[in-house]
A = this chain, B = another copy of it.
Amino acid sequence: MNHVTAEQKKEIDEIVNEQALTSRFTSVGLESILYQPIPVLDHGFIRVVDYMGTDQSIVQAARVSYGRGTRKTSEDEALINYLIRHSHTTPFEMAEIKLHVKLPIFVARQWIRHRTANVNEYSARYSILDKEFYLPSHNNIGTQDSTNRQGRGSAVEQAEGEEFVSMLRAASEQAHEFYRRSLNENEEGQPKSNKKRGIARELARIGLPLNYYTQWYWKIDLHNLMGFLRLRSDKHAQLEIRMYADAILEVLEKWVPLTFKAFSEHVLGGARLSATAVAFLRKQLAGQAFQRSDSKLSVREWNELAETFGFRSSSSNSLR
Protein backbone atom coordinates (compact mmCIF):
# COMPACT_ATOMS: atom_id res chain seq x y z
CA MET A 1 0.00 0.00 0.00
CA ASN A 2 1.36 3.39 -0.92
CA HIS A 3 -0.70 5.22 1.69
CA VAL A 4 1.83 5.05 4.52
CA THR A 5 5.61 4.73 4.44
CA ALA A 6 7.55 1.82 5.89
CA GLU A 7 8.63 4.01 8.79
CA GLN A 8 5.06 5.07 9.54
CA LYS A 9 4.00 1.42 9.35
CA LYS A 10 6.61 0.57 11.96
CA GLU A 11 5.41 3.30 14.31
CA ILE A 12 1.85 2.02 13.92
CA ASP A 13 2.83 -1.56 14.67
CA GLU A 14 4.61 -0.48 17.81
CA ILE A 15 1.67 1.40 19.23
CA VAL A 16 -0.76 -1.41 18.37
CA ASN A 17 1.35 -3.81 20.37
CA GLU A 18 1.47 -1.73 23.52
CA GLN A 19 -1.60 -3.02 25.28
CA ALA A 20 -2.85 -2.37 28.77
CA LEU A 21 -5.76 -3.43 30.94
CA THR A 22 -8.63 -1.02 31.30
CA SER A 23 -11.97 -0.98 33.11
CA ARG A 24 -13.43 1.30 30.45
CA PHE A 25 -15.97 0.03 27.96
CA THR A 26 -14.03 -1.56 25.14
CA SER A 27 -15.17 -2.16 21.57
CA VAL A 28 -13.84 -5.43 20.26
CA GLY A 29 -14.63 -4.32 16.74
CA LEU A 30 -12.59 -1.13 17.00
CA GLU A 31 -9.67 -2.63 18.88
CA SER A 32 -9.13 -4.98 15.94
CA ILE A 33 -8.60 -2.06 13.55
CA LEU A 34 -7.15 0.52 15.93
CA TYR A 35 -4.45 2.71 14.36
CA GLN A 36 -4.67 0.81 11.02
CA PRO A 37 -5.03 3.04 7.95
CA ILE A 38 -8.10 2.37 5.80
CA PRO A 39 -7.22 3.61 2.30
CA VAL A 40 -9.43 6.25 0.67
CA LEU A 41 -8.74 7.79 -2.77
CA ASP A 42 -5.23 7.45 -4.21
CA HIS A 43 -3.14 8.51 -1.21
CA GLY A 44 -5.59 9.24 1.56
CA PHE A 45 -6.76 7.23 4.53
CA ILE A 46 -8.72 7.31 7.72
CA ARG A 47 -7.56 5.49 10.81
CA VAL A 48 -9.09 5.29 14.27
CA VAL A 49 -6.62 6.65 16.78
CA ASP A 50 -8.77 6.57 19.90
CA TYR A 51 -12.38 6.20 20.99
CA MET A 52 -14.51 6.56 24.09
CA GLY A 53 -17.49 4.34 24.71
CA THR A 54 -19.61 1.77 22.92
CA ASP A 55 -23.32 1.18 22.38
CA GLN A 56 -23.52 0.44 26.08
CA SER A 57 -22.29 3.94 26.93
CA ILE A 58 -25.38 5.38 25.29
CA VAL A 59 -27.67 3.24 27.39
CA GLN A 60 -25.63 3.94 30.51
CA ALA A 61 -25.86 7.69 29.98
CA ALA A 62 -29.54 7.64 29.06
CA ARG A 63 -30.20 5.92 32.38
CA VAL A 64 -27.67 8.02 34.35
CA SER A 65 -26.50 4.69 35.65
CA TYR A 66 -24.10 3.74 38.44
CA GLY A 67 -22.89 0.59 36.71
CA ARG A 68 -23.30 -0.82 33.22
CA GLY A 69 -26.82 0.55 33.05
CA THR A 70 -28.06 -2.34 31.07
CA ARG A 71 -29.92 -5.56 31.39
CA LYS A 72 -30.21 -7.28 28.03
CA THR A 73 -28.94 -6.55 24.55
CA SER A 74 -32.50 -6.60 23.22
CA GLU A 75 -33.44 -3.87 25.69
CA ASP A 76 -30.38 -1.85 24.69
CA GLU A 77 -31.40 -2.17 21.07
CA ALA A 78 -34.94 -1.04 21.75
CA LEU A 79 -33.78 1.94 23.78
CA ILE A 80 -31.22 3.06 21.18
CA ASN A 81 -33.84 2.75 18.49
CA TYR A 82 -36.27 4.81 20.52
CA LEU A 83 -33.68 7.51 21.21
CA ILE A 84 -32.75 7.89 17.55
CA ARG A 85 -36.36 7.89 16.39
CA HIS A 86 -37.35 10.65 18.83
CA SER A 87 -34.31 12.90 18.37
CA HIS A 88 -33.10 12.30 21.93
CA THR A 89 -29.61 13.17 20.91
CA THR A 90 -27.73 13.80 24.15
CA PRO A 91 -26.90 10.14 24.98
CA PHE A 92 -25.17 9.83 21.61
CA GLU A 93 -22.92 12.72 22.54
CA MET A 94 -21.51 10.48 25.27
CA ALA A 95 -19.44 8.39 22.85
CA GLU A 96 -16.49 9.90 21.04
CA ILE A 97 -14.09 8.89 18.29
CA LYS A 98 -10.78 10.28 17.10
CA LEU A 99 -9.57 9.76 13.54
CA HIS A 100 -6.33 10.53 11.79
CA VAL A 101 -7.34 11.54 8.29
CA LYS A 102 -5.23 12.18 5.23
CA LEU A 103 -7.24 14.02 2.62
CA PRO A 104 -6.96 16.48 -0.30
CA ILE A 105 -7.26 20.12 0.70
CA PHE A 106 -10.47 20.64 -1.29
CA VAL A 107 -12.05 17.80 0.70
CA ALA A 108 -10.69 19.25 3.94
CA ARG A 109 -12.40 22.53 3.13
CA GLN A 110 -15.80 20.83 2.94
CA TRP A 111 -15.13 18.66 5.96
CA ILE A 112 -14.23 21.55 8.26
CA ARG A 113 -17.65 23.09 7.84
CA HIS A 114 -18.82 20.65 10.49
CA ARG A 115 -17.86 22.81 13.40
CA THR A 116 -18.83 20.69 16.39
CA ALA A 117 -15.64 18.67 16.26
CA ASN A 118 -12.02 19.07 17.29
CA VAL A 119 -9.28 19.39 14.72
CA ASN A 120 -5.52 19.46 14.79
CA GLU A 121 -4.07 19.90 11.34
CA TYR A 122 -0.56 19.33 10.08
CA SER A 123 1.00 22.77 9.83
CA ALA A 124 2.47 23.80 6.50
CA ARG A 125 3.82 26.88 8.24
CA TYR A 126 5.99 24.65 10.43
CA SER A 127 6.63 21.61 8.23
CA ILE A 128 7.14 20.86 4.56
CA LEU A 129 4.36 19.18 2.61
CA ASP A 130 5.07 15.93 0.82
CA LYS A 131 4.66 15.62 -2.91
CA GLU A 132 1.30 13.92 -2.71
CA PHE A 133 -1.67 15.05 -4.71
CA TYR A 134 -5.02 13.61 -5.71
CA LEU A 135 -5.81 12.56 -9.27
CA PRO A 136 -9.35 11.36 -9.97
CA SER A 137 -9.68 8.04 -11.73
CA HIS A 138 -10.87 8.29 -15.32
CA ASN A 139 -14.32 6.87 -14.75
CA ASN A 140 -15.13 9.43 -12.07
CA ILE A 141 -14.76 12.47 -14.27
CA GLY A 142 -18.18 13.88 -14.98
CA THR A 143 -19.57 17.00 -16.56
CA GLN A 144 -21.57 19.63 -14.67
CA ASP A 145 -24.95 18.13 -13.75
CA SER A 146 -27.92 19.87 -15.35
CA THR A 147 -30.42 18.87 -12.65
CA ASN A 148 -28.46 19.08 -9.41
CA ARG A 149 -26.80 22.29 -10.39
CA GLN A 150 -23.88 22.02 -8.00
CA GLY A 151 -22.86 18.44 -8.76
CA ARG A 152 -21.22 16.11 -11.21
CA GLY A 153 -23.30 14.49 -13.92
CA SER A 154 -22.55 11.78 -16.42
CA ALA A 155 -18.99 10.92 -17.37
CA VAL A 156 -17.26 12.85 -20.12
CA GLU A 157 -15.69 11.11 -23.08
CA GLN A 158 -12.62 9.11 -22.20
CA ALA A 159 -10.32 11.39 -24.17
CA GLU A 160 -11.57 14.49 -22.37
CA GLY A 161 -11.14 12.76 -19.01
CA GLU A 162 -7.67 11.55 -19.81
CA GLU A 163 -6.58 14.95 -20.96
CA PHE A 164 -7.82 16.46 -17.71
CA VAL A 165 -5.97 13.95 -15.54
CA SER A 166 -2.76 14.22 -17.46
CA MET A 167 -2.83 18.02 -17.32
CA LEU A 168 -3.69 17.94 -13.63
CA ARG A 169 -0.72 15.64 -13.00
CA ALA A 170 1.63 17.91 -14.88
CA ALA A 171 0.37 21.01 -13.10
CA SER A 172 0.64 19.32 -9.68
CA GLU A 173 4.19 18.19 -10.31
CA GLN A 174 5.20 21.57 -11.59
CA ALA A 175 3.69 23.18 -8.50
CA HIS A 176 5.80 20.99 -6.25
CA GLU A 177 8.89 21.80 -8.24
CA PHE A 178 8.14 25.50 -7.73
CA TYR A 179 7.48 24.86 -4.00
CA ARG A 180 10.84 23.15 -3.51
CA ARG A 181 12.62 25.81 -5.47
CA SER A 182 11.03 28.59 -3.40
CA LEU A 183 11.99 26.83 -0.16
CA ASN A 184 15.43 26.37 -1.65
CA GLU A 185 15.47 22.81 -0.37
CA ASN A 186 15.92 19.58 -2.22
CA GLU A 187 14.20 16.33 -1.26
CA GLU A 188 16.84 15.71 1.39
CA GLY A 189 16.25 19.06 3.03
CA GLN A 190 19.55 20.52 1.79
CA PRO A 191 19.78 23.95 0.16
CA LYS A 192 19.44 23.79 -3.60
CA SER A 193 21.41 26.96 -4.10
CA ASN A 194 23.85 28.64 -1.78
CA LYS A 195 22.95 32.02 -3.15
CA LYS A 196 19.42 31.93 -1.82
CA ARG A 197 17.99 31.93 1.70
CA GLY A 198 14.69 30.24 0.79
CA ILE A 199 11.19 31.61 1.18
CA ALA A 200 9.28 30.92 4.43
CA ARG A 201 7.15 27.80 4.36
CA GLU A 202 3.93 29.67 5.04
CA LEU A 203 4.47 31.61 1.82
CA ALA A 204 6.03 28.99 -0.40
CA ARG A 205 3.00 26.71 -0.01
CA ILE A 206 0.47 29.22 -1.36
CA GLY A 207 1.22 28.14 -4.93
CA LEU A 208 0.22 24.53 -4.26
CA PRO A 209 -3.11 23.47 -5.74
CA LEU A 210 -6.18 22.26 -3.84
CA ASN A 211 -5.64 18.62 -4.78
CA TYR A 212 -2.59 18.38 -2.49
CA TYR A 213 -2.99 16.18 0.54
CA THR A 214 -3.06 17.47 4.08
CA GLN A 215 -3.76 15.53 7.26
CA TRP A 216 -5.34 16.06 10.61
CA TYR A 217 -6.50 14.55 13.82
CA TRP A 218 -10.26 14.87 14.00
CA LYS A 219 -12.33 14.09 17.08
CA ILE A 220 -16.12 14.13 17.19
CA ASP A 221 -18.93 12.74 19.30
CA LEU A 222 -21.23 10.06 17.94
CA HIS A 223 -24.23 12.35 17.56
CA ASN A 224 -22.36 14.88 15.49
CA LEU A 225 -20.61 12.12 13.56
CA MET A 226 -24.00 10.85 12.44
CA GLY A 227 -24.88 14.38 11.35
CA PHE A 228 -21.67 14.48 9.31
CA LEU A 229 -22.39 11.08 7.78
CA ARG A 230 -25.99 11.91 6.92
CA LEU A 231 -24.88 14.91 4.88
CA ARG A 232 -21.57 13.63 3.49
CA SER A 233 -22.70 10.15 2.45
CA ASP A 234 -25.61 11.73 0.60
CA LYS A 235 -25.59 11.50 -3.15
CA HIS A 236 -25.52 15.31 -3.38
CA ALA A 237 -22.15 15.44 -1.61
CA GLN A 238 -19.04 15.59 -3.77
CA LEU A 239 -17.86 12.10 -4.68
CA GLU A 240 -14.47 12.45 -3.00
CA ILE A 241 -15.77 13.35 0.47
CA ARG A 242 -18.45 10.71 0.06
CA MET A 243 -15.75 8.07 -0.19
CA TYR A 244 -14.43 9.17 3.20
CA ALA A 245 -17.95 9.09 4.62
CA ASP A 246 -18.44 5.58 3.28
CA ALA A 247 -15.22 4.43 4.93
CA ILE A 248 -16.33 5.96 8.23
CA LEU A 249 -19.71 4.25 7.96
CA GLU A 250 -17.88 0.94 8.00
CA VAL A 251 -16.00 2.01 11.09
CA LEU A 252 -19.30 3.06 12.67
CA GLU A 253 -20.75 -0.39 12.16
CA LYS A 254 -17.76 -1.98 13.85
CA TRP A 255 -17.79 0.47 16.73
CA VAL A 256 -21.48 0.76 17.68
CA PRO A 257 -23.46 -1.87 15.77
CA LEU A 258 -26.80 -1.14 17.47
CA THR A 259 -26.53 2.57 16.84
CA PHE A 260 -25.46 1.93 13.26
CA LYS A 261 -28.55 -0.20 12.74
CA ALA A 262 -30.93 2.40 14.20
CA PHE A 263 -29.19 5.16 12.23
CA SER A 264 -29.58 3.18 9.00
CA GLU A 265 -33.22 2.47 9.76
CA HIS A 266 -34.36 5.92 10.82
CA VAL A 267 -32.00 8.33 9.14
CA LEU A 268 -30.00 6.97 6.19
CA GLY A 269 -32.73 4.70 4.88
CA GLY A 270 -35.68 6.77 6.06
CA ALA A 271 -37.51 9.63 4.39
CA ARG A 272 -38.53 13.13 5.36
CA LEU A 273 -41.84 14.22 3.94
CA SER A 274 -43.35 17.67 3.72
CA ALA A 275 -46.85 18.45 4.97
CA THR A 276 -48.01 18.58 1.34
CA ALA A 277 -46.49 15.18 0.60
CA VAL A 278 -48.13 13.67 3.69
CA ALA A 279 -51.50 15.11 2.65
CA PHE A 280 -51.09 13.70 -0.85
CA LEU A 281 -50.16 10.22 0.44
CA ARG A 282 -53.16 10.26 2.78
CA LYS A 283 -55.42 10.95 -0.17
CA GLN A 284 -53.67 8.39 -2.31
CA LEU A 285 -54.04 5.71 0.37
CA ALA A 286 -57.71 6.60 0.59
CA GLY A 287 -57.99 6.18 -3.18
CA GLN A 288 -58.61 9.88 -3.82
CA ALA A 289 -55.48 11.15 -5.55
CA PHE A 290 -53.07 9.69 -8.07
CA GLN A 291 -50.94 12.19 -9.93
CA ARG A 292 -48.89 15.30 -9.40
CA SER A 293 -51.69 17.62 -10.39
CA ASP A 294 -53.62 16.36 -7.35
CA SER A 295 -50.82 17.29 -5.02
CA LYS A 296 -49.54 20.89 -5.27
CA LEU A 297 -46.02 19.43 -5.09
CA SER A 298 -43.21 20.94 -7.14
CA VAL A 299 -41.89 18.76 -9.96
CA ARG A 300 -38.67 18.23 -8.08
CA GLU A 301 -40.31 17.17 -4.83
CA TRP A 302 -42.82 15.03 -6.75
CA ASN A 303 -40.01 13.17 -8.47
CA GLU A 304 -38.26 12.50 -5.18
CA LEU A 305 -41.51 11.24 -3.67
CA ALA A 306 -42.17 9.02 -6.68
CA GLU A 307 -38.69 7.56 -6.37
CA THR A 308 -39.09 6.91 -2.64
CA PHE A 309 -42.47 5.23 -2.95
CA GLY A 310 -42.09 3.59 -6.33
CA PHE A 311 -44.72 5.31 -8.37
CA ARG A 312 -44.22 6.88 -11.76
CA SER A 313 -42.32 10.17 -11.75
CA SER A 314 -43.13 13.20 -13.82
CA SER A 315 -41.53 13.44 -17.22
CA SER A 316 -40.63 17.10 -17.13
CA ASN A 317 -37.32 18.29 -15.85
CA SER A 318 -37.02 19.30 -12.23
CA LEU A 319 -35.60 22.68 -11.42
CA ARG A 320 -34.43 24.12 -8.19
Q: Which residues of A contact B (CB under 8 A)?
A: 4, 8, 10-12, 14-26, 31, 34-35, 49-53, 57, 60-62, 64-68, 78-79, 82, 85-87, 90-91, 93-94, 96, 98, 100, 104-106, 108-109, 112-113, 115-116, 118-123, 125-126, 134, 136, 141-145, 149-153, 156-157, 160-161, 164, 167-168, 171-172, 174-175, 178, 181-182, 196-211, 215-217, 219, 221, 231, 236, 238, 264-266, 268-278, 281-282, 284-286, 301, 308-311, 320
Contact = CB atoms under 8 A, between A and B. Distances in A.
B199 A164 contact: yes
A11 B90 contact: no
7 contacts: A85-B301, A112-B112, A141-B203, A206-B210, A265-B275, A270-B272, A271-B273
A189 to B, nearest CB: 12
Nearest to A152: B200
A196 B160 contact: yes
Contact of A90 (B50, B119, B199, B278): B119
Closest 8 CB pairs of A and B: A11-B67, A269-B275, A93-B118, A52-B52, A152-B200, A126-B150, A115-B115, A20-B26
A97 to B, nearest CB: 9
Given A125-B150, A157-B196, A285-B310, 9 more contacts: A25-B50, A52-B52, A60-B217, A61-B120, A143-B198, A171-B207, A175-B209, A207-B211, A271-B273
Given A104-B206, A123-B150, A285-B285, A15 B68 contact: yes
Contacts of A197: 143, 156-157, 160
Q: Is the interface of A mostly helix, strand, loop or mixed?
A: mixed
A100 B57 CA distance: 12
Given A24-B22, A134-B206, A207-B209, A62 B120 contact: yes
B126 A149 contact: yes
Contacts of A15: 23, 67-68
A265 B201 CA distance: 32
A142 B202 CA distance: 10
Contacts of A311: 285
**How many copies of this kind of chain does the complex include?**
4
A98 B219 contact: no
Contact of A265 (B60, B65, B210, B274): B274
A10 to B, nearest CB: 8
B202 A12 contact: no
A194 to B, nearest CB: 12
A311 B278 CA distance: 13
Contact of A64 (B25, B91, B122): B122
Nearest to A11: B67
A96 B284 CA distance: 40
A67 B14 contact: yes
Given A68-B11, A93-B118, A118-B93, A205 B210 contact: yes
Interface centre among A24, A160, A265, A286 (most CB of B within 10 A): A24
A282 B96 CA distance: 37
A305 B164 CA distance: 50
